[in-house]
Amino acid sequence: MSRKILIVDDEPGIRNLISAYLRKEGYEIFEADDGEKAVKAAHAFKPDLIILDIMLPGINGLEVLTQIRRESQAYTIFLTARTEETDRIVGLTLGGDDYVTKPFSPKELVARVNAAFRRLQTQTTPQSILLSQHIRLDHKSRNVLVEDSQLELTQMEFDLLATLMEHHGQVLSREQLLDHVWGAAYYGETRVVDVHVGHIRQKLNDRFITTVRGIGYRFDDEVETT
């Protein structure tokens, strides 16, 4: 069964370009040209991945993702023509997984999509449970408990936390985290790591993850694998 991708952009030329490249890769494509149609399409089409423009007529892309996240954790790549870093950070904080700034290379976008699906494919294999003094992370169910309370994480946040826990006590650079979580085909900025780690730390009340200035991040709670 082919993977399903929802492309949301109000510019027909951009939708057609992305669709053509991704159909060549064997993906099933559905398109929407405004925010309301995107929300309805996400509900009906149930995409595995969403390519979502921030600047849309009616409901903008940020609000679209907020609504979609109520029922779907589909991997989401934002498209934006804006250069302000704030827009990208807000998008990632709301649950976006990655972003591409217009103008973009279609080949780079395809590489990011393929890398995302390779990563998602590995999630279907049952893996171990990671236990620290305060956190229980289950790869198979993708549940995280912090002192018996459920921790709500996006797919990307879960994978980042799992990677940090698996390498507990070690300092992982932003480049290493990109390679582990986003995949070797990722061409974006390392800033995306900072945003997602910051969001995890906020949910953990600034516990367990230490910033090592100029290098990266370290998980400091002792971990065992079961």
Q: What is the pLDDT of residues 58-72, one digit of tens each?
A: 899 999 999 998 888
pLDDT for 142 beyond 90: no
**Backbone torsions φ then ψ of 185, nearest 5 degrees:** -85, 0
> What is the model's pLDDT at position 87?
65
Structure tokens at 57: 């007529």
Q: Which domain holds residue 209?
A: 129-225
Which of 88, 105, 122 represents a domain boundary (last residue)? 122
pTM for this model (two decimals): 0.72
Is there a single domain that holds both residue 117 and residue 134? no
Map tokens 């790869």 to a residue: 139
> What is the model's pLDDT at position 126?
46
Is there a single domain that holds both residue 177 and residue 133? yes
Structure tokens at 109: 């976008």
Which carries the bigger pLDDT value, residue 225 or residue 60?
Answer: 60
Question: Do residues 39 and 60 lie in contact, with contact meaning Cβ atoms separated by under 8 Å?
Answer: no
Is there a single domain that holds both residue 42 and residue 142? no
